[in-house]
Structure 1
Amino acid sequence: MNKPYSILLYYCYAQIENAEAYRDEHHLLCLNLNLLGRIIVSDEGLNGTVSGLKEDCEKYMEALKADLRFAKTDFKVDESDKHAFAKLHVRYKSEIVHSGLRHIDPNKRTGVHLSPEEFKALKDQEDVVVLDVRSDYEHSVGRFKNAVTLDIENFREFPDKVNELKEKYKDKKVLTYCTGGIKCEKASAFLLDQGFENVYQLHGGIIKYGMEAGGEDFEGKCYVFDNRVAVDINKVNPTVVSECHVCGTKSDRMVNCANSVCNLHVPICEKCGWKMDGACSTECKEHPDKRPYDGTGYYQKEMNGYNPLKGFNRKKKSDVQI
């Protein structure tokens, strides 16, 4: 049965002149198409995840492809029964993924792009190391078999790990991967900048690998930045690698702690979910701000007077047809 909504994951490194003004233009485009999600607009390009009705997402992709700056954008498209977001946020930031590597331009030099099938063929060779450039909370729930993972809370910490990686793997073929490919663009380019010679990246990331190569040897689930939280990737030899935060049994059931002050995002098995009333610890279970637990571990974010037109002047508001 076809699902009525699409979820788009994409990025494009492209120079955008007067990017802050383009942010407004792009925001209005999304409003006109009834899209929800998170988009970053920067002088160096676009990075987004949005959801909407299939026909509206098709129009959005057509609009971006028609703009020569974004014609090369590679969209990862998934089906959904509903929106994957509650709000639309289009923000201007200095980078489309926070790395602190503003001097790195992936359009000039970056790791060799591998298709999912090429990545699959190379990843188990003896002279290859598969490097996960994502944060620890992402790879804790899922990662490629035998991948090297990094103890980092944010991607901006990646450059600090390169000397350590150089000592161990400089003479290896390094295959980088991330969720959708965007982090690898700068990670692989920085590795080359730091003296690595054979650097590659999984084009389209884990998501595309699941779509085109069946997800073989990706263990666990892939963390995503929308209401789904984590998605299945492996259709060939799936396994569970994460453990329940409370009891330590194997579990990939990702929940938010019911204590809104904590809101820790961790795996908690269904049994412990009910036992702890949705909390990650006894302290959180007894906290006065603990939310009612309904068995899902998901809590709809407060709208807090959300207005998608906030920040636009009256003239702009009158131009929007929604």
Structure 2
Amino acid sequence: MSDILNISCYKFTPLPDAAALRETLAERAAALPIKGTILIAEEGINFFLAGPAQAVRGFVDQMRTDARFADLAPKESWSDTVPFRKMLVKVKREIIRMDHPAIRPASGRAPSVSPATLRRWLEQGHDDEGREVVTLDTRNDFEVDAGAFRQAIDWRITRFTEFPPALRAHKAQLAGKTVVSYCTGGIRCEKAAILMQDEGLEHVYQLEGGILKYFEETDGAFYDGGCFVFDERRAVGADLAVTPLPGTDTD
């Protein structure tokens, strides 16, 4: 069994002390054999870490002693090596840039759907009220090219800041349908779902935990290809193991 634990996690919660928190977390991380990236903003935290399981889980347990992070629930996968070269802790304006300051997930989340429920909906072809279900990919085009839900809506955006205008241009095709927004780990589809609600779409959900949680909690059905990840693994499959990107020479 691979013995390097990889985790990804985020939480929208007000962090007015982002600069001081950066110093605290950087100091803790430096004392452990872990690498990765931690992004902190006034709106919350987003992090990707890898290392020996005891060290990674110990770091998260220490974070949970802060009441704002008590319910952190990282998504886990395993690899043979650490897919990061350094440990970076940064303060940013947003933990995922949308350039839409009115969207503040910490003030109230959009409804979410569990991986198991989405799988059931896709299998039966409709939601529990008989409404057509569509999946909306909120990732960048090159990520979608690595793998996506079957027949997902893909607006070929190249950065997340393009999502709001793309939504306004294509909103009519979503009307009257149950729309499940999804992304790698949940952070982009959470902001996207809130924006869709604000734009007047009635039946909107975010996929809880994103593709990675879908892989973790289901058999990966109705998803074709791998999930692009922003580390040296490049992509993982439904078994959360490293998988080649389409067109990659594996010889």
**TM-score w.r.t. structure 1 length?**
0.72
Q: Secondary structure at the match of 2:107?
A: coil
Equivalent residue, structure 2, for 1:267: 247
Equivalent residue, structure 1, for 2:41: 42
Given that residues 74 and 204 in structure 1 are in contact (C-alpha distance below 8 angstroms), is that contact kept between their aligned partners in structure 2? no
1:165 aligns with 2:164: no
Q: Which runs of 5+ in 2 are unaligned?
A: none
Equivalent residue, structure 2, for 1:283: none
Q: Alpha carbons of 1:100 and 1:233: their partners in 2 closer, same or farther (altered >3 Å)?
A: same
1:88 aligns with 2:103: no
Given that residues 5 and 52 in structure 1 are in contact (C-alpha distance below 8 angstroms), is that contact kept between their aligned partners in structure 2? yes
Given that residues 10 and 74 in structure 1 are in contact (C-alpha distance below 8 angstroms), is that contact kept between their aligned partners in structure 2? yes
Query: Which whole-Å CA distance do the structure 2 matches of 1:147 and 1:205 have between them?
Result: 14
Equivalent residue, structure 2, for 1:307: none
Equivalent residue, structure 2, for 1:204: 209
Query: Which whole-Å CA distance do the structure 1 matches of 2:81 and 2:201 have between them?
Result: 44
Query: Which whole-Å CA distance do the structure 2 matches of 1:192 and 1:110 have between them?
Result: 10
Question: Please, which moves more after superposition, 49-58 or 158-167?
Answer: 158-167
1:113 aligns with 2:93: no
Residue 62 of structure 1 aligns with an amino acid whose one-letter code is D
Query: Which whole-Å CA distance do the structure 2 matches of 1:114 and 1:71 have between them?
Result: 22
The CA deviation at 1:234 is 6.2
Given that residues 113 and 202 in structure 1 are in contact (C-alpha distance below 8 angstroms), is that contact kept between their aligned partners in structure 2? yes
Query: Which whole-Å CA distance do the structure 1 matches of 2:120 and 2:140 have between them?
Result: 25
The CA deviation at 1:215 is 0.8
Query: Which whole-Å CA distance do the structure 1 matches of 2:225 and 2:35 have between them?
Result: 27
Moved over 6 A (4+): none
The one of the two structures with greater contact order (alpha-carbon pairs below 8 A, sep at least 6) is 2
Residue 29 of structure 1 aligns with an amino acid whose one-letter code is R
Query: Which whole-Å CA distance do the structure 2 matches of 1:25 and 1:219 have between them?
Result: 41
Given that residues 43 and 106 in structure 2 are in contact (C-alpha distance below 8 angstroms), is that contact kept between their aligned partners in structure 1? no
Residue 9 of structure 1 aligns with an amino acid whose one-letter code is S
The CA deviation at 1:90 is 0.9
Given that residues 7 and 80 in structure 1 are in contact (C-alpha distance below 8 angstroms), is that contact kept between their aligned partners in structure 2? yes
Query: Which whole-Å CA distance do the structure 2 matches of 1:166 and 1:200 have between them?
Result: 15
Query: Which whole-Å CA distance do the structure 2 matches of 1:112 and 1:228 have between them?
Result: 31
Find the structure with the greater CA-based Rg. Answer: 1
Given that residues 217 and 234 in structure 1 are in contact (C-alpha distance below 8 angstroms), is that contact kept between their aligned partners in structure 2? no
Residue 51 of structure 2 aligns with an amino acid whose one-letter code is G
Give the alignment of 1:20-99 within 5 angstroms. 20-99=19-98
Given that residues 110 and 192 in structure 1 are in contact (C-alpha distance below 8 angstroms), is that contact kept between their aligned partners in structure 2? no
Give the alignment of 1:238-253 within 5 angstroms. 253=244
Given that residues 133 and 158 in structure 1 are in contact (C-alpha distance below 8 angstroms), is that contact kept between their aligned partners in structure 2? yes
Question: Please, which moves more after superposition, 203-212 or 75-84?
Answer: 75-84
Given that residues 219 and 234 in structure 1 are in contact (C-alpha distance below 8 angstroms), is that contact kept between their aligned partners in structure 2? no
Aligned-CA RMSD value: 1.7
Q: Secondary structure at the match of 2:99?
A: coil
Query: Which whole-Å CA distance do the structure 2 matches of 1:40 and 1:100 have between them?
Result: 16
Residue 56 of structure 1 aligns with an amino acid whose one-letter code is A
Cα deviation 1:71-92 (Å, max 9, x = unaligned): 1222001122221111111111
Given that residues 226 and 236 in structure 2 are in contact (C-alpha distance below 8 angstroms), is that contact kept between their aligned partners in structure 1? yes
1:17 aligns with 2:16: yes
Equivalent residue, structure 1, for 2:145: 140
The CA deviation at 1:194 is 0.7
Equivalent residue, structure 2, for 1:122: 121
Residue 33 of structure 1 aligns with an amino acid whose one-letter code is L
Residue 162 of structure 2 aligns with an amino acid whose one-letter code is E
Query: Which whole-Å CA distance do the structure 2 matches of 1:40 and 1:267 have between them?
Result: 32
Query: Which whole-Å CA distance do the structure 1 matches of 2:41 and 2:143 have between them?
Result: 24
Q: Secondary structure at the match of 1:7?
A: strand
**TM-score w.r.t. structure 2 length?**
0.91
Q: Which runs of 5+ in 1 are unaligned?
A: 236-251, 255-265, 271-294, 296-322
Given that residues 7 and 79 in structure 1 are in contact (C-alpha distance below 8 angstroms), is that contact kept between their aligned partners in structure 2? yes
The CA deviation at 1:130 is 0.8
Query: Which whole-Å CA distance do the structure 2 matches of 1:152 and 1:226 have between them?
Result: 21
The size of the alignment, in residue pairs, is 243
